[in-house]
Structure 1
Amino acid sequence: MKTNPLSVVRNLWFVICSLLKTVNYKPHITNWFLLVACGWLFAACGVYSFTGTNPLSPDLKTVTINNFTLQTAGGPANLPLTLNERLKEYYQRYTNLKVVPANGNLVLEGSITGYELVAVAPTAQDQAGVNRLQITVQVRFNNNKDDTKNFDQAFSFYKDFPQNQTLTQNEAQLVPLILDQIVLDIFNKTAGDW
């Protein structure tokens, strides 16, 4: 007979409550303990994920992140490598998938198609009040267990900086922030089912 994870959690909740009542803890400590214990139980049973992602299908065990290429002029030469490493790290940290070099259940690949500096927010003197760095990544995703989840989509994000500063002054700070958001968007689309 298959057990329902919610009934297991409910039964454990009653056991914990009964034990705490017999020990005579102070109420605020008891409530705090129960809250933490429920969080652990929900996460352990797969009912809730603290990362905000839905639990992945149990038949998904591996992910392959192929090398992204730089298909645009401009940008740091190590931009594709940085994106690859951030994607791998994110999947290792927030899923139980194993990152493998080839033939993963999930496969991510693509290219960086945009690295643009754009003047925005014009001022009265016909100058840009703000400059914007925008990075665009074209991603091809294949779910080898469920073809309906496959997609080919562009992900883009930007950060603004003052017009009296150069890109060189801001690039080292802005690129990691932009890549972090793009990685999060890719992750949410693939593993988070958003």
Structure 2
Amino acid sequence: MIWTKSKTFILSGLFCFLLSACAISYKFNGSSINYDKVKTISIADFPIKATYVYAPLGTRFNEELNDIFIRQTRLQFVKRDADLEIEGEITGYNQYNQAVKADGYSSETKLTITVNVRFVNNTNHEEDFEQQFSAFRTYDSSQMLTAVQDQLISEMVKEITDQIFNATVANW
């Protein structure tokens, strides 16, 4: 069988048409929300109930938790009777000596934040949970906590809010 230029041209055109007609679309915004069922969310402010209280922690955590849902979902924020409800409290803000040098003094200090979260999915109560989330960072003990605290809190709050987002709406 001898191929002619016209047959090659027709097959090439057909291949290009089929290739352009097929499209694969992925959406990686981090959530797997069925927006036909779930339209609203309420997120209560998380009070600090830890023994040690660093006031800016509460504000930073509450803002970051709200922001992640604003940035990565299309959910409407409401005060009550939401499809998804998130509430809880910051239960731990602690520092511990992590490592000891040969002279007996601490060389590293571990700072930990722990948050207790209650999640209610009013469209599917099988997904409801109460769970603790935490993050930690270590820093050189020769530094004062006040010198590194804001940076470490920023990193840990981001990590914890990501964990909460993934546990509540990512469903991976």
Please report the TM-score for the alignment, with normalisation by the length of structure 2. Answer: 0.83
- One-letter code aligned to 2:117: V
Summarize the Cα distance change of 1:18–1:173 in structure 2 as closer, same or farther, 3 Å threshold: same
Residues 143-173 of structure 1: CA deviation (Å, up to 9, x unaligned): 0111110001000001111111010000111
Larger radius of gyration between Structure 1 and Structure 2 = 2
Q: 1:160 aligns with which of 114, 126, 138?
A: 138
- One-letter code aligned to 1:119: N
**After TM superposition, what 4+ stretches of structure 1 lie above 6 angstroms from structure 2?**
none
Alignment pair present for 1:81 and 2:59 = yes
Length, aligned pairs only: 159
Q: 2:154 aligns with which of 176, 179, 189?
A: 176
Structure 2 Cα separation of the partners of residues 78 and 162 of structure 1:
22
- One-letter code aligned to 1:185: Q
Summarize the Cα distance change of 1:55–1:65 in structure 2 as closer, same or farther, 3 Å threshold: closer
The percentage of aligned residue pairs carrying the same residue is 33
Q: Residue 116 of structure 2 corresponds to which residue in structure 1?
A: 138
Alignment pair present for 1:151 and 2:124 = no
Give SS of 1:78's match.
Answer: helix
Alignment pair present for 1:96 and 2:95 = no
Structure 2 Cα separation of the partners of residues 191 and 141 of structure 1:
10
Alignment pair present for 1:62 and 2:40 = yes
The answer to whether the 8 A contact 1:49-1:55 is kept is no
Quote how far apart the aligned CAs of 1:53 are: 3.1
The answer to whether the 8 A contact 1:129-1:162 is kept is yes
Residues 106-164 of structure 1: CA deviation (Å, up to 9, x unaligned): 00000000000111022222222211110000000000111110001000001111111
Give SS of 2:136's match.
Answer: strand
Summarize the Cα distance change of 1:128–1:181 in structure 2 as closer, same or farther, 3 Å threshold: same
Q: Structure 2: 5+ residue runs without aligned partners?
A: 1-13
The answer to whether the 8 A contact 2:30-2:72 is kept is no
Quote how far apart the aligned CAs of 1:193 are: 1.3
Give SS of 2:67's match.
Answer: helix
The answer to whether the 8 A contact 1:105-1:144 is kept is yes
Give SS of 2:80's match.
Answer: coil
Q: Once superposed, what is the RMSD of the aligned Cα atoms?
A: 2.4
**Higher fraction of helix:** 1
- One-letter code aligned to 1:64: S
Q: Structure 1: 5+ residue runs without aligned partners?
A: 1-14, 22-36, 43-47
Summarize the Cα distance change of 1:114–1:18 in structure 2 as closer, same or farther, 3 Å threshold: same
Give SS of 2:42's match.
Answer: strand
Structure 1 Cα separation of the partners of residues 15 and 85 of structure 2:
43
Alignment pair present for 1:18 and 2:14 = no
Higher relative contact order (CA 8 A, sep 6+): 2
Structure 1 Cα separation of the partners of residues 74 and 15 of structure 2:
29
Structure 1 Cα separation of the partners of residues 29 and 19 of structure 2:
30
